[in-house]
Amino acid sequence: MATKGDIAILKKEIASEESVRGEYLVQIGELDKLLALDGGNEQYREFKREIEGFVGESDVKLGKLREKLAQLEDALPAEEKPKWDPTKHPLFKKITEKPEPEKPIVYQVGDIVEAKWEDRQWYKAKILSSLGSSANPKYTVGFVDYKDSHLTVDRSQIRPLLNEGKKRKADGAVVTPSAAATTIKAPAVISAAASINVAEPKQEPSKVSDGPPRPQKVPRKIGTNGALNKKQKSWKEFMARGGGDKKAHKKDSMFRSGDSVGSKVGVTGSGAGMRKDQARKRHIFKPDEEEEEEVASLG
């Protein structure tokens, strides 16, 4: 049973043989040029006949391979058709549909737009005249905020005003909204100016958005002068006593040290006096000491 792998191998073999045949034809073309210059050269003629024989053999081989390829392709089982065509799915149609290009806006004389000045910045302008064709119009605009400032621009240097309510289609018709704007009637009409109560405390907004509003700060109550004086007197008495009834007693330390700079610390009641550093003496070596040590060792 034929497989797709066998067919792929056979196709590669056919392609390789066709490449070899193409090289033979190129060599025959080069020999024809040489024979045109030197027609009596028998060596060139012999080479040409030999290469033409190779071409014939290649044609026979290619014919057999192509017949075998056709047999294998006929022996392949028929591919199963899908149950449904994915290209007919509505989602696929939405993806394949190309959006229509936006039509250019056609401006009329008197429209308020934004135009680009020589400094490449956009400024509010008014269209004074329209020139050129509909495919490539030219507009003469006058800048609203700058008197006696006129400039002729093309379609790329002009755009609708961002806060302009009136927009036009490509054919010049006014764009109408698809749905009517819903109007909300006010329950009452206010004809007088708003009155603000200055005495009413301002309510601070809560920092937590989903919780109740933060309660107002309660002002701290201040007592009378008599109460303040009494508290002040109590505080002075407390400070005069040294911060409380408990008096700080000076406690003797158990450690003692001498008066000199190099003295060490001792402990009270240990029974031993304070230690002293041992005096360091310099030893002076004498030659007689060495002989005495030798006599002592012999004895």
Question: For position 173, what pLDDT does the model report?
Answer: 43
Question: For position 176, what pLDDT does the model report?
Answer: 41
What are the boundaries of each domain within the chain?
4-75, 103-175
CATH domain 4-75 topology: Methane Monooxygenase Hydroxylase; Chain G, domain 1 (1.20.58)
Which parts of the chain register pLDDT below 50?
164-192, 206
Strand partners, 150: 142
**Number of neighbours of residue 10 by Cβ within 10 angstroms:** 18
Residues 6+ apart with CB under 8 A from 141: 113, 115, 125, 126, 127, 128, 150, 151, 152, 153, 158
Question: For position 290, what pLDDT does the model report?
Answer: 64
Question: For position 60, what pLDDT does the model report?
Answer: 92
Task: List, in sequence order, the alpha helices (H) in the chain.
Answer: 4-37, 42-75, 90-96, 225-240, 287-298
pTM of the model: 0.29
Residues 6+ apart with CB under 8 A from 20: 58
Residues 6+ apart with CB under 8 A from 57: none
Is the distance from CB of 264 to CB of 258 less than 8 angstroms? yes
- Residue 162 buriedness (CB in 10 A; 0-12 / 13-18 / 19+): exposed
Question: For position 289, what pLDDT does the model report?
Answer: 63
CA distance linking residue 254 with residue 269, whole number of Å: 8
Element (H, E) at 138: strand 137-143
Tens-digit pLDDT profile for residues 176-223: 433 333 444 444 444 445 555 555 555 555 455 555 667 777 766 666
Per CATH, is 103-175 categorized as 2.30.30.140? yes
Q: Is 277 helix (H, G, I), strand (E, B) or coil?
A: coil
Question: For position 252, what pLDDT does the model report?
Answer: 65
